[in-house]
Amino acid sequence: MCVLSRSLDARGSPERMALSGVHKDRGELRIHENLDELGTDLADYIAELSEASVKERGVFAIALSGGSLIGLMGKLCEAPYNKTVDWAKWYIFWADERGVAKTHADSNYKLAKDGLLSKVPIVPSHVHSINDSLSAEEAANDYEFVIRQLVRTRTISVSDISDSPKFDLILLGMGADGHVASLFPNHPVLDANNEWVTFITNSPKPPPERITFTLPVINSASNVAVVVAGEDKAEAVHLAIDDVGPDHPPLPARMVQPTKGKLVWFLDKLAASKLDSSQFSE
C-alpha cells in the first residue's frame, strides 16, 4: 500500500505533500509532486544526517555524484540550511568523476563547486576531489590511497563487516539506462570487488574515461540516497525497484543494496510513474 503523508519541512511549513512508503526490500521511497518539494525534502534529509553524524563522530563524510543531483541539492545553499548546517565538519568526496579537467563543463567537481561548494563555508582542505592531472587508472589508485588515509584516521568510518570505507552518506543520481556513479549496465566494472575505487575507459555515456566507487564501497555506506527526477527515467526506476522477475538482468541501480546501511529513493512523480505501488507499505 502507498500512503499519502504530510510532513513539516525545516522551515516548519506544513505545505509539503509527498507520497512516501517503504518497499519490502528496496528501501524507503519518497515521491514528490514536484522538484521544489523534492529539493526541500532532500535538503532536510542531508541536514539531519549531517547533524546526527557530527553528534556521533564529530565529522560528516559525504560523497557526491554529478548530473542533475547537484541542482536538486540547491536548497542547501539557502536559509535555513546555509546557517544551521555545521559545514566546517563536512568532508566531501565524489562517488564518480569524469576524466576531464576540473575546469571542464563535464567535470563533476566543477558542477559541485559552482552549484554548492562555493556557496557554503566548506573548509577547502576537506574537499577531496579526484586528481585531474593523472590518467584514469592513476587517478583511481590515487583516490583510493587518499580514502585509505582518511579511513585510518577515522575521518571516514570503516565497515563493521569488511575493511571497506563506511561513508556517512553517498548521494547517487541515476541515468535513464539505470547507471549509478559510473557503473553502467552490463559493464565488467560491476564485478569489481577488490578495489574501492576503479576506472573505465569505455563509458557508453561521454566522456569515455571515468573514475568510480565500486559497488562494495557504495553498499558499505551508512546511508545511500538515490535521487531521480523525470519521466525519461521512469522505466529504469521501475526496473530498479519493483520485483520484475529474472527476465530482466539487474540494473546497476538495483545492485545498490546497502548491507547494513539505509537506502532512500528521492523521486519526483514523473520518475515514479511506472512504479507498482502495490509493492509499497506504510
Ligand X SMILES: O=C1O[C@H](COP(=O)(O)O)[C@@H](O)[C@H](O)[C@H]1O
Read off the amino acid at residue 172: L
- Choose the binding region for ligand X from 22-30, 67-75, 154-162, 252-260 (rule: CB under 6 A): 67-75
Q: With contact defined as beta carbons under 8 Å apart, do 73 and 43 qualify? A: yes
Report if residue 132 touches ligand X, rule: CB under 6 A: no
Dihedral over alpha carbons 150, 114, 271, 218 (to 10 degrees): -10
- Using CB under 6 A as the binding rule, whether residue 108 contacts ligand X is answered as yes
182 lies in the binding site for ligand X (CB under 6 A): yes
Shortest Å distance, C-beta 231 to ligand X: 13
- CB of residue 235 to ligand X, shortest distance in Å: 14
Q: Quick check: 175 binds ligand X (CB under 6 A)?
A: yes
Q: Give the H/E segment covering residue 234.
A: helix 234-241
Kindly tell me which of 117 and 181 has the beta carbon lying closer to ligand X.
181
In the bound state with ligand X, the residue whose beta carbon lies nearer, of 29 and 112, is 112
Which residue from 21, 39, 66, 99 is in contact with ligand X, where contact means CB under 6 A?
66
Place of cell 563493521: 160
Residue 80 near ligand X by CB under 6 A: no
Within 10 angstroms of residue 139's Cβ, the number of other Cβ atoms is 21
Question: Nearest CA to 21 among 265, 273, 271?
Answer: 265
Q: According to the binding rule CB under 6 A, does residue 40 interact with ligand X?
A: no
Distance CA 224, CA 212 (A): 15
For 86-213, list the strands marked E by DSSP: 90-94, 96-98, 157-158, 165-166, 169-172, 197-200, 210-213
Which grid coordinates belong to 131?
A: 586528481
Query: Smaller CB distance to ligand X: residue 2 or 169?
Result: 169
Q: Is 102 in the site for ligand X (CB under 6 A)?
A: no
Is 20 a binder of ligand X (CB under 6 A)?
A: no
Residue placing its CB nearer to ligand X in the complex, 27 or 66: 66
The answer to whether 96 contacts ligand X (rule: CB under 6 A) is: yes
Residues of this chain that interact with ligand X (CB under 6 A) are: 65-69, 96, 98, 108, 172-175, 181-182, 205
